[in-house]
Structure 1
Amino acid sequence: MKPMNSKRGITLMELMVVIAIMGILSTVAVPKLFGFEEKAREKIDLLKLYDLRNALNLALIEDDAAMDVYDPVTGKDIPGVDRAQMSKKLHDGLSSKTGATLFVIELHQKTSINVQGSHGSANNTYNICQMVGDAGTFYNALRDANFDGVAEIIADRIPDKVSYVDHGGDTYTSKSFTNSQGKTYYRTAPIRKLFQSKALNFGKIDDNTRYSLSLRWTNPGDPYSVEVYMLPNGKDWESAYLTDNGTCFSTYGRKGCRNSRKK
């Protein structure tokens, strides 16, 4: 008896089945792969918040009154800003539910990030961006945590109460943008990319979504260290920005987002 021929080829039907299976697997695996990459970028951005928190807390270790120092832009005290009032606003904010706002980012679906010191619809009650200046605790902390360009943007927007900075600087760019109402303004962003993730570079809607970078005492009842977080407008420290991937942009950890999904 002759042995059976074992060199049978793949039939067209078998090939079609294999291709169909590979197609199904790709629709499942590829999105998960891209989701993993975005989540990794979000974690990198979260680490920047920890770096900022650590820089601020190191300043407090070295000098327990470090954040009382008001450092306006060189040679320019801001008209109408009282140093004692600014210090009080800082300490009131650090003990409040929202925290004290250091600066604001605007995310848009179709254009780049916009950085500014303050905005009326971005947790503005305890905004302390005037305290950044060009020296001192906040300025140094931003630089140490690789928030390059942020202090310079704040400085250029504040002194003359400029709403729309139509020029760039050594560390930031300024690009014109016309909104859906036909109004043109300028979006300022650091030359060195501030964040890596889509979550902190692009919004979900064709309009601005604002988040304030805020800080608060870890425990207001025993104020010795601060926490840092990204806060949606009108929310408090327990409702920090929570991404679709589950990244909580708060150095409080999970408790910083325990109310973020609540409607």
Structure 2
Amino acid sequence: MVLARTHDTGGDLARSLARRLEGVDDHAQRGMLVREFVDGQEAAEAVRAMRCLVVEALYGNLRAVWLTIARGLFSGELPYDVLGELYRAAVDLGFDEMRHLLIGGDVSHKRASDGEFPRDEVLESLTLGERKAKARTYDAQMLARLVYDSDPHVVRILLSNPRVTEALVLKLAARRPNRGVMLHEIAMAPRWLARPAIQRALMLNPYSPVRLTVTLLPLLAPHELNEVCEDKSLHPLSSATARLLLGLRGWQAPTIH
């Protein structure tokens, strides 16, 4: 691991946080540990440690640790004023990649109106309560309809249904047009956010909230980050962040002769 060769304060703090997070399985408790860590350090030291963990993730290490931190950044678990302090520290330290990871907002690059989504007469004939109840059932055909429901509460229930498959969730994560709130619901479901295919679909969907996209970027392989750099459908902040992360990784696209 890169951290094994890092002996500054940031590296020490990063190792300590990683050990604590890896010793806890409960996702809520992991989120609380991240909040406690950030609150217990000077903002600059917290940013240094987070940067060390970004580097680890870029090299394919401690991905679950960075995923927990990313969730804290895009979920609201870390309050806006705390994010502001971390952002200012990143600016002062000259850590441009961290500044980009901390600046992304909750809006999506692209937003769709209700009229852009196909109508489903079956779902329209059901009340919200009925759709919530059906989201808990094992009716595969109904679940395939409900994954595109317009209400995030229905989708949240459906995502926790053990009958729902990764293939079905992946369809929703990759769907365009889409609703940012639905993509956020997928990201808030630990069962699905842990899946690399789901992560990639969320990052590459221009309807995802920008903060969600950029905070997950360290989980991509270098060639995938290079694809993000070239993807004109994504928010410019996503492309710029991917480029900075590639620089931090020390990776350059192969030259074609």
Decide: shared fold, TM above 0.5. no
| Higher relative helix content | 2
TM-score interval, normalised by the smaller of the two chains:
under 0.3
**Which structure: larger Rg?**
1
Structure 1 length normalisation: TM-score? 0.28
